Amino acid sequence: MPELPEVETTVRDLEPLVAGRYIRSVMVGSRALRKPWSSEWQHQLAGRRVRKVARRGKWIILELDGDLFLVFHLGMTGRLLAVAQDAVHEPHTHIILRMGQRRELRFTDIRRFGSATVIQGGKALATFFARAKLGPEPFEMETAYWRERLAATGRCLKAVLLDQRVVAGVGNIYADEALFEARLHPARLGRSLTAAEADRLRRAVVTVLNRAIKLRGTTIRNYVGGSGLKGLYQEKKRAYGRTGQACVRCATPIRQVRLAGRSTHFCPLCQEAKRTQY
């Protein structure tokens, strides 16, 4: 599933390609996405100008004239690409926004777990994200908030990082990478952390996400950014997916366990934890 760095890369790619352009028409495929598409939305979108492209958590927001918003979620295999109008149509293309200067914005999704929603008004958009119970952005997370959330939970750190209600945008890859960066065992309980350890983890999350954004995110299967270019972080990852490989710090083989329902990778030496901390 695309996480914050992949979504942020898509937004940065799309901003110069579609901002300022008008949506001439909208074409929608016959196969349903995770959320139903209303036929009225096609009429609402036609003729609107894209004012800006933004991100909230793992959502992509197209802000349009008239206080209208088109909100995409990439799900597990979604792509949002700005292409020339005569570009070859990829299979599993579900939505096409035809724009000026013979450019199209195309939403493709093989598994159809993604979604596209039209929202009228800034207040309605705020309500949309409030109902999703989306936590703060990692880059804006206050120290006191983070310490309090960790101190109040008996869940493991891996589960806390994956919880979008606690912090928005972090998924399986970057949770493992952040815990490795912070030298904290993924099975540690949130309430077992000292204030200094909590602060170290908060900084590690930001460091890893920024590092991944600079490398355009991670392409493991089919992710590409809004311009069609792949990510490069998979060549630099230090924990995720490196089972049995030597730790880049101490050469101990990386281990894999299952936590919070997800495959979890860590160095048993660099991220050592005492049993009392589980």
Give dist(CA 54, CA 72) in Å, integer.
11
Sign of CA dihedral 163, 167, 170, 175: negative
Q: Is 58 one of the annotated active-site residues of the chain?
A: yes
Q: Is 242 one of the annotated active-site residues of the chain?
A: no
- Strand partners of residue 265: 256
Q: Which of 58, 188, 202, 237 is catalytic?
A: 58
Q: Is 197 one of the annotated active-site residues of the chain?
A: no
For the residues of 123-143, what is the DSSP string, one character each? Answer: HHHHHHHHHTT----GGG--H
Q: Which of 2, 5, 138, 186 is catalytic?
A: 2
Taking CA atoms, 105 is separated from 14, 21, 158, in Å, by: 9, 11, 35
Sign of CA dihedral 157, 5, 57, 202: positive
In 3D space, the residue among 52, 80, 56, 81 whose CA is nearest the CA of residue 65 turns out to be: 52
Query: How many CB atoms sit inside 10 A of residue 203's CB?
Result: 14
Q: Is 3 one of the annotated active-site residues of the chain?
A: yes
User: Are 113 and 75 a contacting pair, CB within 8 Å?
Assistant: yes
Helix, strand, coil share of the chain (percent; to 5):
30, 25, 45
Q: Which of 3, 6, 177, 181 is catalytic?
A: 3
Q: Which of 21, 200, 262, 268 is catalytic?
A: 262
* Pairing status of strand 78-84 against strand 68-73: unpaired
Give dist(CA 17, CA 101) in Å, integer.
11
Give dist(CA 51, CA 254) in Å, integer.
46
Active site residues: 2-3, 58, 262
